[in-house]
Amino acid sequence: MSPADALDDENTFKILVATDIHLGYMEKDAVRGNDTFVTLDEILRLAQENDVDFILLGGDLFHENKPSRKTVHNCLELLRKYCMGDRPVQFEIISDQSVNFGFRVNMEVLTSFQNSFWMTSLILLSGAMNMSVK
C-alpha cells in the first residue's frame, strides 16, 4: 500500500498539529498586530482545504493568560468560520453521543487549558454553540 492509499483509508484520521500560536502577541502594534490571527486563519484554512478530521493545538493558543476581549473575539470568530457546520461524524464513539456531541461541526479543534480563564472561555464558547461544558 502506498502512502497516498493510506491517506484515503476510511479508517484513518487526518490530524493537523499546530503549536504555540500565541494569539494576541503584539496586538497593539500597527504593523504586527494581526499576525497571529492571520496565522490561525491560515492554519484553519489549510485544515479545511486538506479535509482534516481534527486539529490538535499544542503549546500556547493565547500569548497572555488573560487575553483581551478583542483577542478572544477574533479567535472565536475564526473557529466559528472554519469549524462549525453540518459535516456528519465519520467515526463511532462507544458512549452516549448526545451527552458529548449535541451539536454538529465540520472540524474538531482539540486544545488543553490550565487556568480558570480557559474554563470561562470554554463556557462562553459553549453558550455560543448551545452545548454544555461539565
Mind listing the pLDDT tens digit for each residue in 66-114? 899 999 999 999 999 998 888 887 777 677 767 766 667 777 666 655 5
Asked whether residue 121 is domain-assigned, the answer is: no
* Matching residue, cell 474554563: 119
Query: Would you say residue 126 lies in a domain?
Result: no
pLDDT at res. 89: 74
Q: Is residue 87 within 8 Å of 47, Cβ to Cβ?
A: no
**Cα–Cα dist 125/111, whole Å:** 13
The answer to whether residue 47 is domain-embedded is yes
The answer to whether position 5 is within a domain reads no
Whether residue 1 is predicted with pLDDT greater than 70 in this model: the reply is: no
Which pLDDT score, from 0 to 100, does residue 22 have?
93
Confirm whether 110 is domain-assigned.
Answer: yes
Which among 12, 89, 19 has a CA at the least distance from the CA of 55?
A: 19
Count how many domains the chain has: 1
Residue 62 phi, psi (nearest 5):
-105, 150
Chain length of the chain: 134
Tell me, what CATH number does 109's domain have? 3.60.21.10
Does residue 120 fall inside a structural domain? no
Tell me if 77 sits within 8 A of 97, measured CB to CB.
no
How high is the mean pLDDT of the chain? 78
